[in-house]
Amino acid sequence: MKVREIAETRGISKELVGYILHEELDMKKVCARWVMRLLPADQKRTRMKTPEQCLERFNKNKTDFVHRFITMDETWIHHYTPESKQQSKKWTEASCSAPKKTRSVPSAGKVMASVFWDAEGVLFIDYLEKGKTITGEYYYNLLTRLDKKIREKRSGLQKKKIIFYQDSAPAHKSVLAMGKLRGLHYELLEHPPYSPGLAPSDFCLFPKLKLFLAGQRLSSN
């Protein structure tokens, strides 16, 4: 209800209504906070449980957990990525006003990159061909290549069980992909629903990649 409606209903002034609400009832009017999803209780519990389990395992044996942990994610790489506000800073005299700059947007030309990596570095990157999409079959082939790269670059992991983390994209959860992961005997960490904040690539890798590419104009994939 609005303050005006309360005042009209009770036959008192808006000022008095405001005083009662703020001073006597200790209330305030707030805007709703926008969130990506309103999760049900079971999904909230999963979002709590999964990180706690990972943290517990990490604390038990940090070296082993980190050494066996491999993750992947996809990101769009644009032919042109604008500089961030931080990057566009310039030195000026104290008396000068801030320079003006028009807002630019990423280019339409772009390529999808699937990056598989661990604590030692990138295992391999796949660039999606134009006109194709990441399907269960496509991702199945990427997992086959991943296993080959692990044997080539991480020989010490051949006798250890890989701890693998991916998000819940449809291609990642397809029958073909899940069957391949079981066949490779990877331990798949659970990805809570609608939890992009738990994806390591979005914090440790992709922001630095975009920062490195910012301001550069690439003519092709």
CB 196 within 8 A of CB 189: no
In a domain, 187, yes or no: yes
Domain membership flag for residue 62? yes
- Tell me: the pLDDT tens digits for 68-92? 999 999 999 999 988 887 778 888 8
Residue with tokens 């066996």: 68
Q: Which segments in the chain show pLDDT lower than 70?
A: none
- Within-domain flag for 29: no
Q: Please report whether residue 146 resides in a domain.
A: yes
- Count of domains in the chain? 1
Is position 61 within any domain?
A: yes
- What is the predicted pLDDT for the residue at 135? 95
**Spatial contact of 105 and 145, defined as CB atoms under 8 Å apart:** no
Residue 140: give the domain boundaries. 46-89+105-213
* Closest CA relative to residue 54, chosen from 162, 165, 181: 165
| Number of other CB atoms surrounding residue 154 within 10 Å | 18
Does 23 reside within a domain? no
Domain annotation covers residue 37: no
Residue-wise pLDDT tens digits, 42-66: 888 888 888 888 889 899 999 989 9
Query: What is the enclosing helix (H) or strand (E) of 65?
Result: helix 62-68
pTM of the model: 0.76
In this structure, is residue 221 part of a structural domain?
A: no
Read off the CATH number of the domain in which 175 is found.
3.30.420.10
